[in-house]
Structure 1
């Protein structure tokens, strides 16, 4: 890897090359988001740096607002008693907007779990920009036991089959341990609808939508019933 790429500081890069703007449908929260000139590929490790003609890698998920997370954050801001005084886990936190919403309205503790190391940096910057404190775990916690929390917030964790198959056993363990679980999702194909009860819907844009695309309803659900129930 060229030395110039090794010397990139993720925090300085994010602050210099991304825009700190309100989250769509969440004027109360600002986050660092990508734009066409951000050059995010410079933050992504490449296995073959000699191939300068290679297509730019897919932008990191943490650099954009996703519909499920936006809907879940909106629900929390509108219903602060959902998190007030509670220990909260933001699972697959991405940009951290769900955890930030929880911290802003009185959660006792917020833990954000994110496996992308640049996402971890972004969460810290986004939390600071919103004047809240969040503990970030840079690990795939779905492999382990339920954490010591009262509530799991899971925004956009069913966007792919492999992710859903990893997340569901973890959520089942959390549910069995008596931990409340709220899910935010725009209705993706791997959403386990038989296990969910709809609480609210919000019209929010989604990651990957065209700039002028109409916002679509995204749901906030409570995870309920035992497997097969």
Structure 2
């Protein structure tokens, strides 16, 4: 983790606890517009994505809540938190005894945030900047929070997630009502309402559904 990455995160976030998962502390944005603007200025020349890692998104909160409550069993399982953001679901899995736990991200700052957040919570999470889509199955449980927000992204990841399910992985997708969620091949297993902010969403809450991804759609 580069020193300037850790310094940027420390300087533009505060340690806070997501509303639905107060057991876990994260480096989070407390004033959304300033960090976004700072990121635009600081990151544009470096080709790094906007700071999605700085927010506890509704899908990840529900996954983490269900993991901590034991509704998603992970103890002794190999877990991947895909498109992990700041690693909330991965940290919850590690706290419940999953091993090893991996967090996949393509954003350099997200990887730095995952390492900082895992250390903050005293757990081990492996994270490296890479696109894991297409890799063969090496996990027992795959967690994917709020990944169907664009058609290209959905088209890129869903065939791979279905293949992992066909190979025996338990693939769980958390969706807060995004437009590009597939209509078929998903089994709803839980629903939870999550408070949110108008600066991130177009409403004060999101109803998040956890789906089990089936091998065929």
- TM-score, normalization: structure 1? 0.84
- 1:136 and 2:124 aligned: no
Partner of 2:84: 93
In structure 2, do the counterparts of structure 1 residues 176 and 123 end up closer, same or farther at CA, with 3 Å as the change threshold? same
Q: Secondary structure at the match of 1:9?
A: helix
Taking the aligned partners of 2:42 and 2:114, their CA distance within structure 1 comes to 15
What is the correspondence of 1:4-15 to structure 2 with a 5 Å cutoff? Answer: 9-15=4-10
Q: Deviations over 1:182-215 (max 9, x none)?
A: 11111211112421111111111347137xx532
Q: Secondary structure at the match of 1:26?
A: coil
Q: Which has the larger radius of gyration?
A: 1
- Counterpart selection for 1:74 from 43, 65, 68: 65
What is the correspondence of 1:139-158 to structure 2 with a 5 Å cutoff? Answer: 139-142=130-133, 144-158=134-148
Taking the aligned partners of 1:133 and 1:117, their CA distance within structure 2 comes to 18
Q: Deviations over 1:109-148 (max 9, x none)?
A: 1000000001100010011111111000311111x33231
In structure 2, do the counterparts of structure 1 residues 214 and 46 end up closer, same or farther at CA, with 3 Å as the change threshold? same
Partner of 2:210: 220
Shift of 1:10: 0.9
Shift of 1:221: 1.4
Instruction: Please report the RMSD computed on the Cα atoms of aligned residues, expressed in angstroms.
Output: 2.3
Identify unmatched segments of 5+ residues in structure 2.
none
Contact 1:80/1:106 (<8 A) preserved: no
- Counterpart selection for 1:174 from 158, 164, 167: 164
Contact 2:166/2:215 (<8 A) preserved: no
- Counterpart selection for 1:120 from 107, 111, 116: 111
Contact 2:196/2:204 (<8 A) preserved: no
Q: Deviations over 1:129-169 (max 9, x none)?
A: 11111000311111x33231111111111111111011112
- 1:103 and 2:94 aligned: yes
Shift of 1:76: 1.0
Partner of 2:190: 200
Shift of 1:17: 2.3
In structure 2, do the counterparts of structure 1 residues 116 and 47 end up closer, same or farther at CA, with 3 Å as the change threshold? closer
Partner of 1:22: 17
What is the correspondence of 1:37-52 to structure 2 with a 5 Å cutoff? Answer: 37-38=34-35, 39-46=38-45
